[in-house]
Amino acid sequence: MAASSDDRGNERAGGGDAEQEERTDGWMATYADMVTLLLTFFVLMFALSNVDNEKAELFLFAMSRNGITAEQFMEIRERYELDDLTGGEWDDEFPIPGQHGDDTWDEGDDEEGETEGERALRELAEAIQEYIDIEGLGEDLMVTFNGDFLMLTLSNDVWFDSGSADLSEEMRDRARVIAELLDANFTIKEPFEIIVAGHTDNVPMNSPRYPDNWHLSNARATNFLLLLINDSGLAPYYFYVRSCGEYKPIESNDTPEGRQANRRVEIMISIARENPLWDNTFGDSD
């Protein structure tokens, strides 16, 4: 029996309702995804409310690989006091922001903020101190270093014979080590300025060769300076001599111990400073 027109109309109407129901149910999947993302977001926000330095470092490391700027990197590091980010374990393929052309990244001359010359001076002080410790020269050679200058103090009674400006053979060997260390740490970009100063006690000196303490202190300083120049191979331009005689004591000359301390040679090493007057007057001429 053929279906009536009303039945066919009902079938079409019924079919239309099913299709409409299928279409309107589709929004549920999108809504569920959105709720899930919101939940994930709030969990992330809660997790970041208590910063774990180690996790934050890893986060920054990952971000840096995706192009975070130097300013953003520094801001995050300072905000959370992350001083030792990733321990320096950066992938060469994804270097620290600012390398390879980012002018906003500026760490100075090296990690410690030292210039090349300052680093060389510090390493020279450390090398000489190590040599002193190994050889047990603590009483014969003392090192003073404050970051700006290095001073070596030599006891005249050990390095020179009484009334003489000649170094003993044993001390000449030790002086050669100092010269070699000086040469090894010397930099042309920021060269050293080396001043060798001679000192005596106040006991009068009167000999055909050294008529007074001025001459004796000058001879001792000059001899030591020449040894440094010859054995280091450095240009004499960087060296200076001072003869102080008895007039720069560090102890009282009223006791034997004080006089012994005053008999000394000092080597003062610092980064050479520009002196236009000196260069214009005494510099090399064409």
What is the CATH classification number for the domain harbouring 164?
A: 3.30.1330.60
Do 61 and 149 lie in one domain? The reply is: no
Mean pLDDT on 205-211: 89
Phi, psi dihedrals of residue 77, rounded to the nearest 5°: -60, -45
258 and 127 in one domain?
yes
Please check the confidence at residue 282 and state whether its pLDDT lies above 60: no
Q: Could you tell me if 151 and 232 are in contact, meaning their C-beta atoms sit under 8 angstroms apart? A: no
Does 264 lie in the same domain as 172? yes
Are residues 79 and 143 located together in one domain of the fold?
A: no
pLDDT the model gives residue 32? 79
Q: Is residue 1 situated within a structural domain? A: no
| Shared-domain flag, residues 130 and 227 | yes
Residue 198 confidence (pLDDT): 94
Last residue of a domain, one of 88, 108, 125: 88
At residue 40, the pLDDT reads: 81
Please tell me whether residues 164 and 208 are part of one structural domain: yes
Q: What is the 3-state secondary structure (H, E, C) of 143-160?
A: EEECCCEEEEEEEHHHHE
Within-domain flag for 99: no
pLDDT (average), residues 240-266: 94
What is the domain count for the chain? Answer: 2
Where in the sequence is the domain holding 245, given as residue range(s)? 116-282
Looking at 22-36, 173-187, 196-210, which range is the least confident one?
A: 22-36
Distances (CA, A) of 178 to 213, 278, 279: 26, 28, 28
The structure's pTM equals 0.58
- Domain stop point among 88, 106, 131: 88
Q: Which of 31-40, 114-123, 174-183, 237-246 has the lowest mean pLDDT?
A: 31-40
Q: Are residues 84 and 145 in the same domain?
A: no
